[in-house]
Structure formats: structure tokens, C-alpha cells
Chains A and B, each alone.
Chain A
Amino acid sequence: MLIFVLRRLIQSVFVMLAVSLLAFVLFQFAGDPIEAMVGQDATMADRAALRDRLGLDDPVVFQFARFIGNAVQGEFGLSYRLQQPVLGLIMQRLPATVELAVTSTIIALVLGTALGVLTALKNRSWITGIIMAVSLVGISLPTFLIGIGLIYVFAVELHWLPSFGRGQVVELGGWSTGFLTSSGLRSLILPSFTLALFQTALLMRLIRAEMLEVLRQDYIRFARARGLSERVINFRHALKNTLVPVITVAGLMLGSIIAFSVVTESVFQWPGVGSLFIASVQAVDVPVMSVYLMFIALLFVTINFVVDILYFIVDPRLRADSQKRA
């Protein structure tokens, strides 16, 4: 167990270092930071002084070490576009993205699992046919089109829900939440369903495929031969075996949702990290891009790490393997 966790941790650190290197390279070589920082009328001497002060003439290895050191302390420099500290920009927009992503994840997990199990068990029913057809449309529709469609129906035609923004937010010790006001909650509905729909369709199809596979296994046939009731076979034996690999998928899904929030935030003008990133890509705002890169990497590495540990806890085969080794 210890070896397993340790190995995973070391791998995670390596991934983070690799991503940091990428971010560093981007920071260092994409566009000249001096050009971005000094004015038109700066002299050569001014520039040289600035280069010296920023340590740009040091060996690259030192610069990378300093970059990592600064990153660990949360020091990432200024945005070219907004001339503000990057970390502050991101922290200020983080709550919006987190609330959107968490809501969508819950919607997708609940709906996706329920529909996936239903369609696997009623494999030959007409309901399954309809759900599968809808889900195929679901994964064929780009997220932004879903968003536009929902806006058109619920905001433009029906005027039920707002079409953009977060509504009113409440500040709770530096965390601005939209969960506590009715306008905040109403604003959350369209973007979170937009974001969840694609993932729901994907998760449902995955769970269905996995469960059909499990239902074909010998131990399910043997469970039938033992005379267990259909309910026990489906919901005790088959479901548990289905859900083990789904842990990984659920982990990936949370990541996916955060990534796709880039698109959704853009459609709904949601003031989150994603729309900040899009604006930065458009303006080639390198510091923000490289910090976003590291931020996303950290998030994914953490999710993967947690997923691996969960897997380990759920599957007795893995557990026993490592006990034998230890």
C-alpha cells in the first residue's frame, strides 16, 4: 500500500514538473517579456538593467529553479493584458467555475448512472432505443450549440431563466457564492445543464456498455444457476462490478467538466476561470496561459491520484496483490 501510494505520488510530482517546464518554456520564449514590460521609449541600458534584474541572463537551469520556487510560493508575475497579478485574477474567478463544475458533475453522475443502468437492464426495450438515440444526439451536439439552444428556448422564447452571468452573489470570507440567492440559483440552471448534458450522455453509454459486458460474464451466469433473484443479480452483483471501472471515468469526468467549462462560460458569459483563459489565448497573454496550464495540471494530477487510491480500496484483487508484496 505504502509503495503504491508513494509510486503514485512520485509520478504525480514528475507530471507536475513536466508541465511546469512546459509553462516555463512558454513563459520564457513565447514573446519577449522585456518587450511586454517596458515602454516604447526605454533605452538599451534600461532593457539591459531590467534583464539583469529579472535574472534573464542567468543559466536556464537557474531560471527554471527560480520559476519553480516562485510558483510554489504562488508568485506568477503580471498578466500582460490586465497588468494585475495572475494568481489574484485566477483566485478571484475560481469560485464561479468551481460552483458550476460541481453542480454539473452531480447532475451528470446521477442522471448518467441511472440511465446507464436502466438501458443496460432493459436492453431490448423501446425505451432503451429512444434513450440511446437521444444520447447519440447528445454526444454529437457540440456543447456550445446545446447552450445556444437552451438560451433560445428558456431565455429568448420563454423568458424563464437568465441567459448570461451569475446573478447576485454573496461574499463568504473571500468566496463569492451564487448558491444563496434565488437569482444566483436561477442563473446556474442553464449553464450547469449545458455542461452536464454531454457528460451525462457519455457516462450513460459507458455504464451501459460496461454493465452489458459484466452481464455476459460467467459469474453472472453462475449466479443465475444458483437461483438468485434478478434483483440481487442486477443490483448487487452486476452493479458493483460495473462501478469499479466507472470510478476512473467519474474522475476523468470531473476534469472534463472543468475543461468544458471554458466553452460553457464563454457561451453564458460566466465570470469564471475559463472565460479568463479564452480571453488570454485570444490576446496571447502568456503569463495567464502558463498559470492556467499549471493550475489545470495540478487539478488533474490530484483527481488521478484520488481515483487511483479509490480503485485500490474498492478492488480486492489489487489490495491483496500489494499485501502480498508488502
Chain B
Amino acid sequence: MMALISPPEKTTSSRRFRDSDLWYSFRRSPTALIAAAMIVLIVGAALLAPLIAPHDPFDLATVNLMDAQTPPMSVSLMGNYFALGSDIQGRDVLSTILYGSRTSLFVAVMATGFALIVGLTLGIVAGYFGGAWDSAIMRIVDVQLSFPAILIALLVFGVTRGFLPAATQDAAAVWVLIFSIGLSNWAQFARTVRGATLVERQKDYVSAAHMMGTGRFRILFGHILPNVISPVMVIATLGLAVAVIEEATLSYLGVGVPPTQASLGTLIRIGQQFLFSGEWWILFFPALVLVLLTLSVNLLGDWLRDALNPRLK
């Protein structure tokens, strides 16, 4: 049946995208364009960190204490140039930021993906099958949504670490972090997807599909899923910003990634020690990148929500 329409599909769907309201409003929105450009810049730099960073800040062979505490745009005692200065161990701040945002983005994206898969699956099951499934899942969602995500992430992190043997705690820290942040954010997805599924489920095209003997699986994934995806996109974008903030907060509190894998939050935690002593750049630049990243993602999410909401047009 899909074969019926597949040959011209590619060209028409790309044209459909170019003709779509979404693309139109994207090109017309300066904030969306700037935010997208900023995200591409940060993500690109993070991905290419091993290629473009002046050195690997976690490779002790490339670090020299004589380089320590060089201000931005100046040359150290060793004759090395530091665009954004160096920290107390002589590491290049620009390099630590590149590697740090790599860790931050990895954790945030994985955690959001994890939350999305769990939330989408449970939400669609709750909305479509209803009954006991629905009440069980939504009860958990209600309880969880009344607790702030950061607290749940902290608790899950603490509990999971409590179960792990001390030796593996550092090695597993990143995965534990992804698990805890993901687990703290799935409920938002589940609630949105369930609501949208409930609306779609009682629409007549679903009844029509039932009558035609279309299987439940196909109804769920062929009919309902494509129609609930718009709100999921919005939540996923805004959720990514939340995940970045959560990761930074946990790492800042010293319960996130271990120092050997420093994320933006860890860098800020380290930099805060120099707040009173005048080495502002160790704190300022990681904080700036973090804020630009979350702000851009939030701006994009905000724009997406307005663009996809037909009532605001």
C-alpha cells in the first residue's frame, strides 16, 4: 500500500517541507534563525572538539603548570597563546569548554532521548488502551510531575549510586547521570502524548480504521503517532534545555560527572573558587557558553511551539 505512493514521495515531501508554514515562519523569524545558528555553532564545535581544540585538557602530557592562570588573549610564561586564558592547572579554557560542552551535550541529548522513548511509549499506551493501564501510568505521572525534575534526578542519582559498588561509581557516573536526568523528564512527554492520543483516538479516522480491520499496531503507529508528533517536538526541544541545565546543576553540585570528564557544570564549579581572586575568565567563559546554549534551545523551542500552534496564527 505504501508502494502506491512511494516513487514520487521524495521530491514532493521535500517540496512540501519547503512550502510548509513551518519553514515559512522559520525563515521569517530572526530569533529562530539566530538561535538555530547558535546551536549549530556550539554543537558543531563540540563535535569537532578533538580536531579544533588547541590541546586535550585531560591529557596530562599536554598540560604544563607554568601555563597556569594566563589571562585571555595573552601569552603565558611558556610562550603559549591562550585565547580565553588558562586555569590553575595550566589548561586552556577554550579547550576545556570545547570538551566540556561535548560531555554536557552528550548527557543532555541521551537523557532527552531516553525520556522521549519512555514517555512516548507509555503515553501512547495509556492514551490508546485506557483503563487500568491509563490509571496506573497517569498516577505515576501525576506524582512525578508534582516533584521538580532536579530533585528526582538528585534522588535517582543518589539511590543508583547507593546500589553501585564504590569502585565502579566514577566509571558509570555519566550513564547514571543520563539515567537520572532521563527518568526525571519522561513524565512530561507521557502526559502530553497521552493527551494528544486521547484526542486523536476518538477522531473518526481512527474509528474508520478500526472498522476496516486495520490492526491495532498499525493504527497506533500509522495513524496516531504521526498526528501526535508536533507537541512532542516542542517538548523535546524545551526538554533538551532542561536537561542541559540539570546536567550542569548536578555537576556543579559535585554529584554529576567525575572531574576527569569535566562538563560545563564542573568547569563552573571549579571556576567559582576564583570568583574572589580575580581570575574571572575561568568561570565566565564556561558560564557564557552554557547560557548561550540553553537560551538558544529555549528560543527555538518557544518559536516552535508558537509556529505549531494553529490558534496563534
Residues of A within 8 A of B (CB): 15, 22, 26, 29-31, 136-137, 139-145, 148, 151-152, 156, 216, 252, 255-256, 259-260, 262-263, 266, 277-278, 280-282, 284, 286, 289, 293, 296, 300, 303-304
On whether the beta carbons of A142 and B162 are closer than 8 Å, the reply is no
CB contacts under 8 Å to A, within B93-129, are none
Binary interface profile of B, 246-282, with partner A (CB < 8 Å = 1, else 0)? Answer: 0011001111000000000100100010011000000
Q: Does B290 contact A (CB under 8 A)?
A: yes
On whether the beta carbons of B157 and A263 are closer than 8 Å, the reply is no
Docked Cα-Cα span, A289 to B241, in Å, equals 27
On whether the beta carbons of B287 and A263 are closer than 8 Å, the reply is no
Docked Cα-Cα span, A259 to B151, in Å, equals 6
Docked Cα-Cα span, A255 to B241, in Å, equals 21
Q: Does B143 contact A (CB under 8 A)?
A: yes
| A281 contact set on B, CB distance < 8 A | 154, 157-158, 161, 255
Binary interface profile of B, 273-313, with partner A (CB < 8 Å = 1, else 0)? Answer: 00110000001000100110011011100100000000100
Q: What are 22 residue pairs bridging A and B, where the CB atoms are less than 8 Å apart in the complex? A: A30-B163, A136-B302, A137-B291, A140-B295, A142-B245, A142-B265, A143-B249, A144-B248, A145-B287, A145-B291, A148-B287, A252-B145, A252-B146, A255-B147, A259-B147, A263-B252, A278-B154, A281-B154, A282-B254, A282-B255, A286-B162, A304-B146
On whether the beta carbons of B158 and A289 are closer than 8 Å, the reply is yes
| B150 contact set on A, CB distance < 8 A | 259-260, 262-263
Q: Does B171 contact A (CB under 8 A)?
A: no
On whether the beta carbons of B155 and A256 are closer than 8 Å, the reply is no
| A282 contact set on B, CB distance < 8 A | 254-255
On whether the beta carbons of B147 and A142 are closer than 8 Å, the reply is no
On whether the beta carbons of B148 and A156 are closer than 8 Å, the reply is no
Binary interface profile of B, 131-167, with partner A (CB < 8 Å = 1, else 0)? Answer: 0000000000001011110110011011101110010
On whether the beta carbons of A262 and B151 are closer than 8 Å, the reply is yes
A139-B298, A145-B291, A262-B253 in contact; A255/B162 too (CB < 8 A)? no
| B291 contact set on A, CB distance < 8 A | 137, 140-141, 145
On whether the beta carbons of B147 and A296 are closer than 8 Å, the reply is yes
Docked Cα-Cα span, A260 to B151, in Å, equals 8
Which residue, of A31, A156, A284, has the highest number of chain B Cβ atoms within 10 A?
A284
A277-B154, A278-B253 in contact; A144/B276 too (CB < 8 A)? no
On whether the beta carbons of B162 and A216 are closer than 8 Å, the reply is no
On whether the beta carbons of B159 and A148 are closer than 8 Å, the reply is no
Chain B residue nearest to A27 (CB atoms) is: B162
On whether the beta carbons of B253 and A266 are closer than 8 Å, the reply is yes
On whether the beta carbons of A256 and B148 are closer than 8 Å, the reply is yes
Which residue, of A145, A148, A151, A259, has the highest number of chain B Cβ atoms within 10 A?
A145
A142-B249, A216-B311, A259-B148 in contact; A26/B159 too (CB < 8 A)? yes
**Which of A15, A142, A216, A255 meets B252, CB within 8 Å?**
A142
On whether the beta carbons of B294 and A142 are closer than 8 Å, the reply is yes
On whether the beta carbons of A280 and B163 are closer than 8 Å, the reply is no
Q: Helix, strand, loop or mixed for chain A's interface?
A: helix
A32 to chain B, nearest CB (A): 11
Which residue, of B150, B162, B245, B272, has the highest number of chain A Cβ atoms within 10 A?
B162
Q: Please, how many residues of chain B have a CB less than 8 angstroms from a CB on the other chain? A: 40
On whether the beta carbons of B163 and A29 are closer than 8 Å, the reply is yes
| A303 contact set on B, CB distance < 8 A | 146
A212 to chain B, nearest CB (A): 9
B70 to chain A, nearest CB (A): 21
On whether the beta carbons of B302 and A284 are closer than 8 Å, the reply is no
**Which of B146, B161, B275, B295 meets A284, CB within 8 Å?**
B161
On whether the beta carbons of B146 and A263 are closer than 8 Å, the reply is no
**Which of B148, B272, B275, B287 meets A255, CB within 8 Å?**
B148
On whether the beta carbons of A144 and B268 are closer than 8 Å, the reply is yes
A26-B159, A148-B268 in contact; A278/B255 too (CB < 8 A)? yes
Docked Cα-Cα span, A15 to B276, in Å, equals 46
**Which of A31, A151, A252 meets B162, CB within 8 Å?**
A31
Q: Given A144-B253, A255-B147, A284-B161, list of 16 further CB < 8 A pairs?
A: A26-B159, A30-B159, A30-B163, A137-B295, A139-B298, A140-B291, A142-B294, A145-B290, A148-B272, A148-B283, A259-B148, A260-B148, A263-B249, A266-B252, A281-B154, A289-B158
On whether the beta carbons of B290 and A262 are closer than 8 Å, the reply is no
Chain B residue nearest to A18 (CB atoms) is: B143
Docked Cα-Cα span, A260 to B166, in Å, equals 27
On whether the beta carbons of A151 and B249 are closer than 8 Å, the reply is no
Docked Cα-Cα span, A271 to B307, in Å, equals 45
| A278 contact set on B, CB distance < 8 A | 154, 253-255
On whether the beta carbons of B154 and A284 are closer than 8 Å, the reply is no
| B265 contact set on A, CB distance < 8 A | 142
| B146 contact set on A, CB distance < 8 A | 252, 255, 300, 303-304
| B297 contact set on A, CB distance < 8 A | 140
A114 to chain B, nearest CB (A): 22
Docked Cα-Cα span, A304 to B302, in Å, equals 29
Docked Cα-Cα span, A107 to B150, in Å, equals 21
| B163 contact set on A, CB distance < 8 A | 29-30
Docked Cα-Cα span, A143 to B311, in Å, equals 33
On whether the beta carbons of A141 and B294 are closer than 8 Å, the reply is yes
A156-B275, A263-B150, A280-B158 in contact; A142/B255 too (CB < 8 A)? no
| B148 contact set on A, CB distance < 8 A | 255-256, 259-260
| A156 contact set on B, CB distance < 8 A | 275-276
B176 to chain A, nearest CB (A): 12
Docked Cα-Cα span, A282 to B302, in Å, equals 36
**Which of B253, B272, B276, B294 meets A263, CB within 8 Å?**
B253
